Amino acid sequence: MKKGTNINKKALIIGVSGQDGAYLAKLLLKNNYRVWGTSRDAQLSQFFGLEQLNIKDKVKKISMNPSDFYSVIKVIKKIKPDEIYNLSGQSSVGLSFEQPVETFNSISVSNLNILESIRHVNPKIKFYNASSSEMFGDTKGSPAKENSPFKPKSPYAVAKAAAHWQVSSYRDGYGLFACSGILFNHESILRPSRFVTMKIIDSVCKIASGSAKKLTLGNIDIKRDWGHAEEYVDAMWKMMQAKNPDDYIIATGKTYSLMDFIKKSFSYFNLEWEKYVVLDDSLKRPSDISLSLADPTKAAKQLNWKAKIDMNDLVELMIKGKLNESG
Neighbours of 35 (CB within 10 A): 26
* The pLDDT of residue 5: 60
Cα-based distances in Å from 259 to 140, 202, 245, 274, 316? 19, 16, 38, 10, 16
Mean pLDDT by 10 residues, the chain (327 residues): 65 95 98 96 86 96 96 97 96 88 96 98 98 91 94 95 98 98 96 92 96 94 95 98 98 96 98 95 76 96 98 97 84
At 166 the pLDDT is 98
8-state DSSP, 291 = B
Is the full-model pTM beyond 0.85?
Answer: yes
Burial label, 29 (beta-carbon count in 10 A; 0-12, 13-18, 19+): middle
Which listed residue (33, 128, 156, 256) is catalytic?
A: 156
In the prediction, which pLDDT does 1 show?
A: 44
Considering Cα of 320, then 292, then 307, then 264, what sign does the dihedral take? positive
**H helices present in 8-90, as ranges:** 19-30, 48-52, 69-79
d(CA 116, CA 51): 32
**In 3-state terms, what secondary structure has residue 39?**
strand
Say which of 39, 110, 128, 134 is annotated catalytic.
Answer: 134
Element of type H or E holding 86 = strand 83-86
Whether 132 is a known active-site residue: answer yes
Q: Are 191 and 138 in contact (CB under 8 A)?
A: no
Sign of CA dihedral 46, 129, 225, 28: negative
Whether 186 and 234 have beta carbons less than 8 Å apart is answered as no
Q: What is the pLDDT of residue 2?
A: 47
> Distance between CA atoms of 194 and 90, rounded to whole angstroms?
12
Residue ranges of domains in the chain: 10-187+228-253+293-298
Catalytic residue among 17, 132, 133, 154: 132
Residue 178's nearest CA partner among 78, 106, 111 is: 111
Q: Which amino acid is located at 155 in the chain?
A: P
What CA–CA distance (Å, rounded) separates 130 from 299? 15
Question: Which CATH architecture fits 10-187+228-253+293-298?
Answer: 3-Layer(aba) Sandwich (3.40)
Contacts of 101 (CB under 8 A, 6+ apart): none
Give me the pLDDT at residue 284, please.
Answer: 74
Q: Is 23 designated active site? A: no
Edge-to-edge strands, sheet with 34-39 = 60-63, 34-39, 10-14, 83-86, 126-132, 178-183, 248-250
For residues 203 and 263, what is the distance between their CA atoms, to the nearest angstrom?
A: 13
168 is catalytic: no
| pLDDT (0 to 100) of residue 141 | 84
Give residue 3's pLDDT. Answer: 46
Q: Are 130 and 106 a contacting pair, CB within 8 Å? A: no
Tally Cβ neighbours within 10 Å of residue 30.
11
